[in-house]
Chain A
């Protein structure tokens, strides 16, 4: 079957790719473009390990078709640090030891970024409910929630 031509923006870079019609955005990011920071944990939208921003909106890349990215902007974990400076969330995750194995971390960071862009001053409960679409099996969430709250405080201050 003929592939579909898609013109999009990924992490601010104009990007063109060819994809099969059934390929998800996650397949395209990982297998076609080579951005493997977004992870596949379930391929059914239950774990959030493939969280990306689509025109600033938090989505699971496994639930979006590659072809649907036409004309839209995608933001992935690979675009989160600017120049050689980590995003405050990335720094706070490290300082709080908010990751153990690290495979869910890209998804949590993207999801938390989407939260703080919308709600710069979330309560602990708001953070917990916002991140309820992201599974972490290692940390018990404690240090993740603390890192997000701490990053929010720092970002409001700057």
Chain B
């Protein structure tokens, strides 16, 4: 089972002292001793316990809600329902890589006219103990008029499907439809002429794929503590990927000025996109305002499954044509993604990413965003891309095999590279897809022998990566140490990477830089941790803040030496006299200037507030060996290698961690994970026992190859690495199972019952 971890790093873009090293993370000790405070770990004096009453029906009108009996129960301090939240007009705002609509946020947080999925909140209350709160929930009387429901995406698109929203008209079609439907939006991306392209092809393969909704599966359930004071100011503590986003949504829902709400991000126990939206936070604030007491709310695992996340299940048709010598001539895709109860699934990025690993002249991708009676989907690691690229990479594999070309060579012939025009518009800058393919092809793994019933699969993947609004402050302390303030919750080591980049830019030691994730009132607006943006954007901002510090340090040295400021240069973390004054004075260190700051002009600090530009995509290629047990249908992953372009790996251990974690999440998506609904529209597996995520004994070591094709638009070459690793695994595994069994699987998950059924249907062989 064991294989050796190979970390091969190409020559760095520039000489660095700190960037590219693997120090202990600054928040590490707190996280191995139990000190770190996560969402549910804050205890305030007089704190109440808040709980949510949720709909048992997938689709129903709410005729009435009677809270009188619950309100009369001793210990119940506040109850909120739809009547406690103002309706908000339809207005789209960005959240993570998706857009959300305030009209829908209000309705998702608390049902208004109808409940739209099992688990949809209909009331919330706060009581002096969890016991009383649970007892009180049972006393709330809700009268429903149950409506027909629809769970499946294809069913939901039919003309006679039950309608979730009678005011939803498909956007993006001409002429605009006169009848409402469950199809919220049609999108299309195209270049070239696919009809001409397919005419040039010697071989065309068209297949339809089906994927199930899967949950982000963070181990920490959603949790928050809200505390309102009598003057209308409030504090909120919560587990989130973006506390500034939470602040904006909550202030809007509660009718507050943004300055009246201070949000502190707790440590966050995983997010993967699922903690970019609000669920409990507005409820806890409303309950705290009503009760004048702090209110803590924590979801159960069952609530997490029934009412948060997941990502879309989908139906995807892909058609690709190629010439006999292995050149792709045309590619077409039709994607139908579940959005859940409200519009806004990841259909757009799914379409844009579908064929992004290829340099193609003729592409057409059409996508549909479809509402169903399921929880509203949330972003999940490279939202949309794993679904569409699973389909595309499966067809690519089949084409390569039919043409008789090695699947890596087929990809190399068609790979996206610098100058490739994408179907969604821009031309690519320097990218590392070809390097990842070459590194996989050259690996010992790719050439190792396989045994009977074993197969080897390969797939590539793409994600855009983003920058965005970012604030960073660097405060120089009196002894020359530094406090770095960032606004991006640290989910996987971004404090460490941000400190490494700040130390590099300032020319001081990494352990002299201590980070904090500032609350919303202490640091300016910062977009969330998502889109693989935290290390990228914090690097841009930390570098700018550091340059201000250095400029000020030089000015102070000039003042001390009584020479012009431009006659001082900064080198190796020291101010040195330059030009005509070179050698006239002993260099002054960062710490020496800091100690004299009080007498030379006061505190020294740098601050950057910017919209980080220049994000660049990261491509990866995965290689997997597996064995299929033909008696049980169980697939065992034997060996796995990830090669991905990081641009620059700031802290290589956490880059490897992203590659490994994404690969294993993808293994779960490929082999076991799925939302299972009964005919009653209720989720049947809302727990970790039945929603089976990979455990340690399910997987081997995950070998990693970090490719570094520097992003020229980042001060340290960073691209962002977090999302791409979940894109290739599903196709890589399907391609390997095809090699092992001769069976092409087009449905996820490829779980033992399905694999066994297919093997039996295929007959003895």
Contact = CB atoms under 8 A, between A and B. Distances in A.
B219 interface: yes
A122 interface: no
Contact of B270 (A35, A76, A103, A144): A103
Contacts of A40: 40, 221, 298
A150 B114 CA distance: 55
Interface string B695-716: 1111101100000000000000
Contacts, number: 194
A46 B687 contact: yes
- Report whether over half of chain A's contact residues are helix, strand or loop; otherwise say mixed: loop
A8 interface: no
B220 A101 contact: yes
A139 B219 contact: no
Given A86-B32, A97-B25, A140 B699 contact: yes
Contact of B35 (A22, A37, A46, A97): A37
Contacts of B693: 135, 137
Interface residues of B, number: 62
B5 interface: yes
Contacts of A127: 696
A46 B688 contact: yes
B269 A95 contact: no
A144 B653 CA distance: 12
A127 B219 CA distance: 21
Nearest to B223: A40
A150 B695 CA distance: 20
B332 interface: no
A8 B374 CA distance: 46
A158 B432 CA distance: 45
Contacts of A144: 696
A145 B31 CA distance: 17
A44 B688 contact: yes
B29 A101 contact: no
Which one of A40, A93, A94, A102 has the highest number of Cβ atoms from chain B below 10 Å of its Cβ? A102
A137 B664 CA distance: 8
Given A43-B301, A105-B32, A137 B25 contact: no
Interface in B23-61: 24-25, 27-29, 31-38, 40-41, 43
Contacts of A125: 1, 697
B219 A41 contact: yes
Contact of B269 (A39, A128, A146): A39
B218 A137 contact: yes
Nearest to B267: A102
A34 to B, nearest CB: 7
Contact of A97 (B22, B298, B699): B22
Contact of B217 (A94, A137, A141): A137
A35 to B, nearest CB: 7
Given A39-B38, A41-B221, A94-B24, A22 B131 contact: yes
Interface string A68-104: 0000000011101100001000100111110111111
B2 A124 contact: yes
A97 B650 CA distance: 14
Given A94-B28, A100-B661, A137-B270, A42 B301 contact: yes
B726 to A, nearest CB: 11
Interface in A106-158: 106, 109, 124-125, 127-129, 131-146
B133 to A, nearest CB: 13
B270 A101 contact: yes
A47 B221 CA distance: 12
A56 B495 CA distance: 35
Given A103-B270, A127-B696, A41 B35 contact: no
Contacts of A94: 24-25, 28-29, 32
B134 to A, nearest CB: 10
Contacts of B698: 132
A95 B24 contact: yes
Contacts of B687: 42, 44, 46
Contacts of B663: 140
Contact of B493 (A34, A100, A136, A141): A100
A2 to B, nearest CB: 14
A124 B5 CA distance: 14
B515 to A, nearest CB: 15
Contacts of B27: 102
A100 B491 contact: yes
Contacts of A37: 33-35
Given A47-B688, A109-B32, A145-B701, A39 B219 contact: yes
A146 B702 CA distance: 11
A97 to B, nearest CB: 4
B311 interface: no
A135 B29 contact: no
Contacts of A61: none
Contacts of A93: 32
Contacts of A102: 27, 31-32, 36, 267, 269
Nearest 9 A/B pairs, CB to CB: A37-B34, A103-B269, A140-B664, A102-B31, A97-B653, A140-B660, A100-B492, A46-B688, A77-B34
Given A101-B269, A140-B699, 15 more contacts: A39-B40, A41-B301, A90-B29, A93-B32, A96-B653, A97-B493, A97-B653, A97-B657, A101-B267, A109-B32, A131-B695, A132-B696, A140-B665, A141-B699, A143-B660
Interface of B: 1-2, 5, 22, 24-25, 27-29, 31-38, 40-41, 43, 131, 216-221, 267-272, 298, 300-301, 491-493, 651, 653-654, 656-657, 660-665, 687-689, 693-699, 701-702
17 contacts: A39-B220, A42-B301, A95-B24, A99-B32, A101-B219, A101-B269, A102-B269, A124-B701, A131-B697, A132-B696, A134-B695, A137-B218, A137-B270, A138-B657, A140-B657, A142-B5, A143-B656
